[in-house]
Structure 1
């Protein structure tokens, strides 16, 4: 890893640990093990470096939520994502930035944070919509509302864990969110019409094997013939 990459890596870790305001160029150089000349050769200053580091943090946060993009069933992906390892006491790499007044006052840094949350929201909402289309969640669920709820629970879990200095509140928040998801899934399952051999046969007789002909109206059917047995 070259000096530029070490500087970005060090800044990313310090932003996560301390925030932007409390991270100094001296801290960054010390952690990266590079001198001032190297730092200012690659970056114009702390802000420029912080932008690159925050982009790295966002990329890692998106990668960590990659289960939402897997090939599994949408409901499975939602549950699996809720139970991803999350270091509650350390906090969210991206959410941590919203607690920093210097970030809130910086349009570029704040814009990166806002876009990261929006990107994550889209991933949640798209997966929820897939689950609804698959009949795994009730049709009256609003994907955007539920996506916002999941994001709020996750960020709230980080806050509670940091406040108590304990991972337990984060884990409890995730179990609670998963339990609510399971309740919704059970509700959706109960709304699905029961499929029996009798109802399937009735559908075939009414619409034909390929769905194109009403067999009940065919001459063979009217005369008592059994078209299904004719083949």
Structure 2
């Protein structure tokens, strides 16, 4: 792993654990084992490094989500695979955590990867719902964009509920509820 990669990876972990303010250059250097000179050789400062870390987290989140959403099967099955994916629910979502960080959302450079990731996810799920409608799997009355936004909100809200309860069951319950609502819009089987 290169020095730059160690810095980015350490910053990713610290942002998730501590948020932007709690991620100091000193903590990044300690976690990565990289000295101050090397850190500033690769990045102009903490905001530049945090932006690189957020971009990498965003890319990783999209890659993981796409692996579920691109699996074989019906649109419902692929959405269910994404919702039911094994997660460390009590840690929450890297991007969701950043969306709640006032310092991240106040800075357009830091907020951009977070916003783009959630836009991409809503769009990707909406595509699957529209695909399911075109194939006769879902009823035509199901709005793809609204439903996709609701499903993404279920995941993010599920993390919050699970963390508040300090147990994963509220997340699992939210996913079951969302899948039940989605199943209610499945079109009747064609003869």
* TM-score bracket for the superposition, by shorter chain length: over 0.9
Deviation at 1:58, TM superposition (A): 0.6
Kindly report which structure 2 residues correspond to 1:187-226, keeping only aligned pairs within 5 A, or say none.
188-189=187-188, 192=190, 195=191
Deviation at 1:42, TM superposition (A): 0.6
Aligned to 2:82: 81
Q: Pairwise CA RMSD of aligned residues?
A: 1.2
Kindly report which structure 2 residues correspond to 1:13-52, keeping only aligned pairs within 5 A, or say none.
13-52=13-52
Aligned to 1:116: 117
- Given that 1:29 and 1:39 are in contact with CA atoms closer than 8 Å, whether structure 2 keeps it comes out as yes
Deviates more, 1:42-51 or 1:86-95: 86-95
TM normalised by structure 2 equals: 0.95
**1:84-132 deviation per Cα after TM superposition (whole angstroms, max 9, x unaligned):** 1222211111010111111121111112211111011110000010011
Residue 60 (str. 1) matches residue 65 (str. 2): no
1:183 and 1:142 map into 2 onto residues whose CA distance is 13
Alignment gaps of 5+ in structure 2: none
1:166 and 1:75 map into 2 onto residues whose CA distance is 27
1:179 and 1:94 map into 2 onto residues whose CA distance is 26
SS of 1:108's equivalent in the other structure is helix
Larger radius of gyration: 1
- Given that 1:97 and 1:113 are in contact with CA atoms closer than 8 Å, whether structure 2 keeps it comes out as yes
TM normalised by structure 1 equals: 0.79
Aligned to 1:205: none
Q: Which has the higher contact order (CA 8 A, sep 6+)?
A: 2
Aligned to 2:6: 6
Moved over 3 A (4+): none
Alignment gaps of 5+ in structure 1: 196-231
Deviation at 1:60, TM superposition (A): 1.1
